[in-house]
Structure 1
Amino acid sequence: MSEGAPAAPAATPVRRLGALFGAVVAPTSFVSALLYYFGYWHVYWFFAYFGVNSTVLDFGTVDYLMRSLDALFIPMVVVAAGGLAAFWGHDLLRTRIAAGPEPRLLRYALPTVAATGLLLTLGGLYSVVDRRFFLNHHLVAAPLSLASGVILLAYALHLHRTVTRAAPPGGPAPPGSTEPPPDGEDPPPPPSPAPRPEWAALAEWAVVFVLIGLGLVWAANDYAAAVGRGRAQQLVDELPYSDTTVLYSEHGLSLTAPGVRETHCRDADSAYHYRYDGLVLILQSANQYVLIPQDWALSTGVALVLPRSDAVRLEFAPYGSRVSAGRSPAC
């Protein structure tokens, strides 16, 4: 470094922790794993609503990653907007602290923020050990209580340390000093506390980030499950107005689902001897079809998982051209 050049700022514990995490876990792999995780639970709860175990559908990584966007869009927007507002608010408060004495608002804000953070943290932690706690009865209330509580506690401690460092020198005599200062001289400043070991600062921030991260992952997981069930309910509500799927099969499938009509084809030379009306295709994955009746209901509905092969054929018709129930179509 050339003479007179400004010294590089010392790395903060947060930066050191980020560098350590990046050296252990590749950021791209970490983000991909999270997206896969949320997409998996979105898919799981979507098909669980129809009584289908999603593991039999053999989804691929791309399928889960694409589904995760539906589950994470709103949480990411909310977290980004909240983070931006928090950064702007902190910048304004930091400017006030640097401009002069401790603002009067800060005297009341620090205890309030710390007390609120403590209550929220305790509520989130108690929700982990007692699933009957009232926070668990509301969507993402328990995980957000934990994450936001830890954030508030960490921020209150950060403000306290910032204000302490910004305090002017001087103050009461050091503990144990009984001799008054000479006339006309300011009392000596209290002794500075010993600097914290670097490992202690790293461990503190690691615990903070782990608790916040677990709370946010927990919240996103619950939200992904709720979105999966919500999308399934939305699909059921739209069934009466959805396009129909006609299933042709070489052999009888003995489908007895409510609203599904089986027709034996009259043409002996037909490649497909059975036709089934009243179905809706909701997915084709890993050479399997997932169909449900158009009259599907939660209490009586069933879902059909059929292998994709030459023995079956699907024909799609828009809502306006559905075959009426009384018609006996020829195959």
Structure 2
Amino acid sequence: MTVSPDNGSPGGETGAGRAEALPPIRRFGALFGAVVAPTSFVTGLLYYFGLNQAYWFYAYFGVDATLLGLGTTDYLVISVDSLFVPMVVAAGAGLAAFWGHDLLRARLTTGARPRVLRILVPVLGSAGFLLALGGFWSVLDDRLFLRSHLAMAPLSLAIGVILLAYTLQLRRSLPPERIATPSGSAPDEGAEPPTSPEPPDASSTSPRPRQTRQAVRSEWVGVAEWAVSFVLVGLSLIWAASDYAAAVGRGRAQGLVSQLSTSTTTVLRSERSLGVDVPGVREVLCDNAKSAYPYRYEGLVLVIQSADQYVLLPQSWTRDTGVALVIPRTDAVRLEFVPYAARGTLNRSVC
């Protein structure tokens, strides 16, 4: 009668045994997936980056983004703008890293392992140490020159940790080198091969409790090492993406300002005077006293309509003299849009 390997036979491992035999990185991935739901994690990151970009976009005009009532969907849509370039760059860098690893493995199988290791491992280790040191130093001291460049400090930390981890794994995963003879020459052809020692008695092969504890400890040390590396690299990439999202928000705001003078004009009509006294905005009172919206404000550009708020900018807005208007969305106001080419056809007296 044959015994199934799943039942703990000598020819197979139990499910618990297979779980214990997983590499540390796979065990860490299983633990991370069990604790953090991937969908919720990704959604939270997208929300954070969208919130960050929206904050810096409206802060450029002096508007607090929390007043606009943007929802979760708005932030998720905005985050696509700030994450497209970082995701493309990260995917390209990851693909290049995988290809480079395959090329390195092919190189090592050709018999050039000692020579490659003598050159590659010190170079990767030194570069990783310097980059990680610069990133850590930037965390503690924001006056370091890396902080003056966009995402340079977090990327330095992330790349440095990745290089250090890869260097250590490269040293551990490769088999040890063949031990050479003292004279450096190959052994004699006529020499007899060394006899292998007698196999130990089966009763003496059972693992000792101390060795078992050491093996479990070494396994969890490996899991903890991958966890720390993942946290450092993950936080560094979030830091870099946050800096980029802030830069995108400010850049989008500057691009909008550069196009204000030729943008579609927004005419704001109101039932009563709004008391708007802003440079570049004209208040016009219509001749028709029976008009439902006798007050008209020209020279504005609509930035966004969010929830119950209109955000408008004067077409002559500047950071030194500009004022942003946040108008409640009610039945007492109405918006009209006039293309740039048709601005001269506005009749300021007829409503």
Do the aligned residues in 2 keep the contact of 1:42 with 1:68 (CA within 8 Å)? yes
Of 308, 311, 332 in structure 2, the residue corresponding to residue 290 of structure 1 is: 311
Of 218, 223, 233 in structure 1, the residue corresponding to residue 244 of structure 2 is: 223
Equivalent position of 1:45 in the other structure:
56
| Residue 5 to residue 31, structure 1, CA distance change in 2 (3 Å) | farther
| Offset, 1:302 | 0.8
Equivalent position of 2:71 in the other structure:
60
Do the aligned residues in 1 keep the contact of 2:49 with 2:242 (CA within 8 Å)? yes
| 2:43 is the counterpart of 1:22 | no
**What is the total number of aligned residue pairs between the two structures?**
315
Equivalent position of 1:107 in the other structure:
118
| Offset, 1:329 | 3.2
| Offset, 1:160 | 1.3
| 2:227 is the counterpart of 1:206 | yes
Q: Distance in 1 between matches of 2:102 and 2:176?
A: 16
Matches within 5 A, 1:248-263: 248-263=269-284
State the SS of the aligned residue for 1:322. helix
| Offset, 1:103 | 5.0
**Identical residues among aligned pairs (%):** 58
Equivalent position of 1:117 in the other structure:
128
Deviations 1:83-106 (A, max 9, x none): 001001101212332443515233
| 2:103 is the counterpart of 1:92 | yes
| Offset, 1:127 | 0.4
State the SS of the aligned residue for 2:113. coil
Q: Distance in 2 between matches of 1:234 and 1:83?
A: 32
Do the aligned residues in 2 keep the contact of 1:98 with 1:166 (CA within 8 Å)? no
- What TM-score results when the alignment is normalised by the length of structure 1? 0.89
| 2:340 is the counterpart of 1:330 | no
Deviations 1:18-53 (A, max 9, x none): 111111110000000000000000000000000000
Of 22, 28, 51 in structure 2, the residue corresponding to residue 11 of structure 1 is: 22
Q: Show structure 1 runs of 4+ deviating over 4 A.
A: 1-9, 170-173, 183-188, 193-196
Of 123, 126, 132 in structure 1, the residue corresponding to residue 143 of structure 2 is: 132
Of 15, 21, 32 in structure 1, the residue corresponding to residue 43 of structure 2 is: 32
Do the aligned residues in 2 keep the contact of 1:172 with 1:187 (CA within 8 Å)? no
Q: Distance in 2 between matches of 1:219 and 1:321?
A: 44
Of 64, 71, 74 in structure 1, the residue corresponding to residue 85 of structure 2 is: 74
Q: Distance in 2 between matches of 1:230 and 1:262?
A: 31
Question: In structure 2, what residue type is equivalent to 1:281?
Answer: L
Consecutive unaligned residues of structure 2, counting only runs of 5 or more, are 183-190, 197-210
Question: In structure 2, what residue type is equivalent to 1:267?
Answer: N
Matches within 5 A, 1:237-316: 237-316=258-337
Deviations 1:43-87 (A, max 9, x none): 000000000000011110000000000000000000000000100
| Residue 127 to residue 261, structure 1, CA distance change in 2 (3 Å) | same
Higher-Rg member (1/2): 2
Question: In structure 2, what residue type is equivalent to 1:328?
Answer: R
Do the aligned residues in 2 keep the contact of 1:96 with 1:103 (CA within 8 Å)? no
Q: Distance in 1 between matches of 2:59 and 2:280?
A: 21
Consecutive unaligned residues of structure 1, counting only runs of 5 or more, are 174-182
